[in-house]
Amino acid sequence: MTKNSRPAAKAPAKPSAAVKSAARNTDSGPATVGSAMADLPARKMLEVEQLAAQMPVNPNKAVEHGLQAGLQPSTGATAEPPSRVPLGSTLSEDNGSEKTGSIAPEGLNATIEPLDRVRVDASGQVLTTNLGVAVADNQNSLKYGLRGPALLEDFVLREKITHFDHERIPERIVHARGSAAHGFFECYAPFTRYTRAAPFREKGKVTPVFVRFSTVAGERGSKDTARDVRGFAVKFYTDEGNWDLVGNNIPVFFIQDAMKFPDLVHAVKPEPHHQMPQAASAHDTFWDFVSLMPESTHMLMWVMSDRAIPRSFATMQGFGVHTFRLVNEQGESVFCKFHWTPTAGTHSLVWDEAVKISGADPDYHRRDLWERIEAGAYPEYELGVQIFTEEQADAFSFDILDATKIVPEELVPITPVGRMVLNRNPDNFFAETEQVAFCTANVVPGIDFSNDPLLAGRIHSYVDTQLTRLGGPNFHEIPINAPIRQVHNNQRDGLHRQAIHRGRVAYEPNSLAGGCPFQAGAAQGFVTFPARLRAQEEQVKVRGKPEKFADHYTQARLFLDSQSPAEQSHIEQAFRFELSKVTVPAIRARVVSMLRNVNEDLATRLAQDLGMAAVPDAMPLAIDVVAAPEVTVSNALSLLARPGDGSLKGRKVAVIVAPGIEADSVLQVQEALEAEGAVARLMGPRIGPVAAADGTVLDADVSLENEPGFLFDALVLPDGIAGVNLLVENGRVLEHLKDQHRHCKPILVLGESTKLLTAGNVNATLADGGEDEALVVVGSDEATDGIARFLAAMRRHRNFSRETDPPRV
């Protein structure tokens, strides 16, 4: 047998068709992997399970924290595979040719013919830089002290991030699919007590903004409604330069250090051997990574919650994620967290709805944003800040430099500082939305950074990415990126330079240009806040994390316990769906073991639903003693706690019509909805004129065929015996009704349309026999009362009391 050949698989006595079938798919797997190896795919399935099961936890987590661990990082954990089979990208690698050659030589980066010269197998090898230097610590960036600033000399971080920045050009590596709008920020009152930043200097001051919303994992052509984090990036064009608040719709993140960002994104992106799945986290590599990084647990709770499938950008919160500094004119500093809260409230899709929408309209969020602005239903958000001092931060049970933690609102309330209104769509998608370049490094006097090690990496990474994505160092001169303040410096030349500078001087100091442009000095220019380094005995160059970073589960438990029963059910269902798509049972077991540290009931139910014989042991904690949390339940973390101002602007309602319906009540509903700013679309079997029973001709602008019911926020079923009799025979009507009912949306049933409820087997009451307040059924002479109740139900968005698992309809 040659070194590069694979040992022949032993044929079982009785090949199992079930085992063969289970081993031949890429998006799901059996609850357990048996010992029967019917053929090579089944053998690989078994050996992958055996390999993953050897590492039920990340054994190094407990020794990553503290000064000593930072000075003497431990050797990475490894597991011995049963053979080379589970390490291969594909079972077809034996099908060689003169071009493809044989399988990769074991444990060797070979440079031999033909393509074997570029295949790499890392089995049994230590991690190195691109120049072959062994990497002692791949978990932490180099800092001056455990809580100190990241250091420019960290060549390992810079190489890793720089390479990652240039992996996908010209498309963004992450946040590739985006939608954007222009608008303004208006300051409520002077906030100069805390900051000298231009947008907050006086009451009523208006600052132009450009906001880009995005998904994170998907490519530019992916769907809008994927379960994913959403980017929420705001570019303030201030009179002191551009400030970019580059955040997300979730206030925490998966990782604590920028060193791990390329690993996270590589894990969640489509798997490189077959480039699947697109824009989804329900696959092996993502769950393998996060289950070995238990600091991800808090973020997983958010991503498995309804936050990851927002109804629209207009009903989605935004967060700065990191801890920043505010600095006032006197040079005094406080820490802060930024929060964007939508005036329309925080509302989401349900999973079944999101999946269906992705097929019917993958541009659902992009379309909604555009249509709201075109219709004058401008999305509006309130900017609030949490302010706390260094002394307060030191006393918290968590570390404010840890991006996997929030500061509970019960601990530090949010102070409103202004509002943002998006009131203009871009003129050209590419010139504005695609070419806009955000960067966390773009700050103005009065805004400064903390020593968050994840933020430190982003400060470098964003600029580096734009250099190649936008063609060179002059991307700041692209109109959408240019500031409104005059720009004067000694930068010259480079690709795509637009400015034509007068004179011969391009240096400072100079005398030939009268010393201009000259440095502004502290009174006018940006000055980094001189944060003092505490505990001088620990201020050495070190790769490590502070002790408080080791608490991975307290805030995950806080988030779960703060959700409503319906939201908790959605989180459980999301974990169940995502983990059912994982093909390696050992990875599923590892995730459930991690969740035992959050909630025993959740872990137990998931183990049962995923076919596990027993609930796995809880994952060991990375720290022996966890600080007692200040807050154990925070109502502010529930979407239902943020219903908004009750406005119905921008909502879409399907009003079904057919020949022979009663026109008066339909027109009455349409008028009431339009008065609220909602879009009431008349939906017929076909588009065009529809004659009502009294001869009134209604114009159906949408058909039952071209717009599924799940694209709408509510449904109205008409009165009129002749029309209803036609609708009862139309299967698409019943599909609309069932989808709207299953997704817990408001439904108004007028007069004779009770027949449609019967035909669709839709219950007019809840499963427990109670009244369904979002299913409004009224007689022919009760339309006015019914419309009022219907509008009230729409203000609550959904009635989750209707929801059952599995659904009744």
Any idea which residues carry the catalytic annotation?
Answer: 175, 248
Q: Residue holding tokens 């968590």? A: 398
DSSP 8-state symbol, 238: E
Residues contacting 220, CB < 8 A, separation 6+: 171, 172, 176, 177
Spatial separation of the C-alpha atoms in residues 74 and 534, rounded to whole Å: 26
Smallest Cα–Cα separation from 253: which of 316, 303, 317? 303
Instruction: Give the residue from 713, 719, 696 showing the smallest Cα distance to 782.
Output: 719
Q: How far is C-alpha 250 from the chain's CA centre? A: 7
CB 618 within 8 A of CB 548: no
Residue entry with tokens 């005036």: 343
Using DSSP's 3-state secondary structure scheme, residue 364 falls into helix
- What is the amino acid identity at position 554? T
* Residue 415: strand pairing partners: 385
What is the length of the chain?
809
Q: Between vectors from CA 410 to CA 406 and to CA 416, what angle results, nearest 5°? A: 85
Give the pairing type, strands 206-215 and 142-144.
unpaired
- Amino acid identity, position 678: A
Q: Which residue do the tokens 């049963």 mark?
A: 82
Our measurement of the distance from residue 606's CA atom to the centroid of its chain's CA atoms, rounded to an integer in Å, reads: 23
Q: What is the DSSP string of 82-123?
A: SSSGGG-S-GGGG---TTT-SSPPTT-B---TTGGGG-B--T
Helix (H) or strand (E) holding 50: helix 40-53
Pair 225, 251: CB distance under 8 Å:
no
380 membership: H or E segment, kind and range? strand 380-388
What Å distances lie between residue 430 and 180, 472, 545, CA to CA?
11, 17, 41
749 contacts 717 by C-beta, under 8 angstroms: yes
With both helix axes pointing from N to C terminus, report the angle between 351-360 and 731-742 in degrees, rounded to the nearest 10.
140
- 555 CB contacts (<8 Å, ≥6 apart)? 252, 298, 398, 404, 405, 406, 629
CA distance 508 to 487: 15
Structure tokens at 174: 């992450």
Task: Report the Cα–Cα distance between both ends of the chain, in Å, rounded.
Answer: 60
Residue 8 φ/ψ region, left for φ over 0, alpha for ψ in the -120 to 50 degree band, beta for the rest: beta
Indicate the angle between helix axes 565-580 and 351-360, nearest 10 degrees.
Answer: 60
Is omega for the bond preceding 272 within 30 degrees of 0, making it cis? Answer: no
User: Using CA atoms, how far apart are residues 752 and 755, in angstroms rounded to an integer?
Assistant: 6
